[in-house]
Amino acid sequence: MSVIPNKSLGQHWLHDIYSLRSMADAAHIGPDDTVLEIGPGLGTLTTELASLAKHVIAVEFDTELAAGLAARVPANNIEVVHSDILKFDLSKLPRDYKVAANLPYYITSKIVRMLLESPNPPIEVAILVQKEVAERMAAMPGDMSVLAVSVQFYAEATLGPVVPAELFTPPPKVDSQIIGLKRRREPLFPDITPQDFFRMVRAGFGEKRKTLRNSLSGGLHLEKPEVEKLLDAAKVDPKARAEQLGLDDWYRLVKAYADLV
């Protein structure tokens, strides 16, 4: 009996073997690896992962799909878990596990944030997401967003192959793209806390159409002269907008703000 994709769960089946192998390649999966697969669906990617990894933990929210996965992928190194991935305990996984997933568009950001901010984060992640979202994660200064800053604070992002919409059943409305995320072994800025860093980032992006002189004034509750002093100390153009800044710029702003207050 065929399984009908659940539109409310963003289910789109991918059968293209090249794309499936590209996802496994993007996570650099080897014979000693434990891989967390999020939303295995019909098991097409699961089959590829099971042929490469030591252990695959497939977390599936859909009851019917979870119940049938073992029969569809009869490999002895697969563990099927019927669960909401956002409630899954990542601390149960071994250190330096890897992640591979074809993620529903509506929940991509939440899952990526959960993985990267976890006390037990994966060492590598290969996900298939909406092309526009992949490009946003890997964006450079000039086209940054809170998502890009958040991802690149914790990981190095590498764009992989584009997967055209027609390779899915049913086809989504837009193309997808593979993106690889490699966790930073050491904190990017060890002398500041993530909380202080993202407080500054949120303040800067709070009114993204405004210049930093204005957005930081509102976001940090500072008078304009104080903000200008802050920006000058951090060597950041007060006429710049948040999307123009790189991670080093935000770091300098956090350090300058600590000296200011």
Beta bridge partners of 55: 34
Q: What is the pLDDT of residue 7?
A: 47
Render pLDDT for 115-140 as a digit per residue (tens, 0 to 9).
999 999 999 999 999 999 999 999 99
Mean pLDDT, to the nearest integer, of 171-195? Answer: 95
Share of the chain above pLDDT 70, in %: 95
Q: What is the pLDDT of residue 209?
A: 80
Q: What is the pLDDT of residue 183?
A: 97
> Identity (one letter) of the amino acid at 110?
K
Nearest to 157 by CA among 144, 173, 169: 144
Q: What is the pLDDT of residue 5?
A: 46
> Identity (one letter) of the amino acid at 45?
L
b/e string for 129-146 if b means 16 or more Cβ within 10 A? bbbebbebbbbeeeebbb
Q: Is residue 256 scored above 80 in pLDDT?
A: yes
- Give the span between the Cα atoms of 137 and 254, in whole angstroms: 22
- Give the span between the Cα atoms of 78 and 80, in whole angstroms: 6
Mean pLDDT, to the nearest integer, of 3-12? Answer: 52
Confidence bin at 172 (pLDDT 50/70/90): confident
- Tokens found for residue 19: 């794309």
Nearest to 260 by CA among 102, 70, 252, 181: 252
Q: Is residue 21 scored above 80 in pLDDT?
A: yes
Confidence bin at 144 (pLDDT 50/70/90): very high
Q: What is the pLDDT of residue 181?
A: 98
Q: Which residues contact 57 (CB under 8 A, 6 or more apart)?
A: 34, 35, 36, 37, 79, 81, 93
Domains and CATH numbers, the chain: 7-183 (3.40.50.150), 194-260 (1.10.8.100)
Q: What is the pLDDT of residue 230?
A: 96
3-state secondary structure of 165: helix
DSSP per residue, 123-183: SEEEEEEEHHHHHHHT--TTS--HHHHHHHHHEEEEEEEEE-GGGEES--SS-EEEEEEEE
Q: Is residue 11 scored above 70 in pLDDT?
A: no
Q: Is residue 105 scored above 90 in pLDDT?
A: no
Residue whose entry in the numeric block shows the structure tokens 């994709």:
5
Mean pLDDT, to the nearest integer, of 134-161? Answer: 97
Q: Which residues contact 141 (CB under 8 A, 6 or more apart)?
A: 243, 244, 245, 246, 249
What is the overall mean pLDDT for the chain? 93
| 111 touches 122 (CB < 8 A) | no
Render pLDDT for 25-58 as a digit per residue (tens, 0 to 9).
999 999 999 999 999 989 999 999 999 999 999 9
Q: Is residue 82 scored above 70 in pLDDT?
A: yes
Q: Is residue 106 scored above 70 in pLDDT?
A: yes
Q: Is residue 3 scored above 60 in pLDDT?
A: no
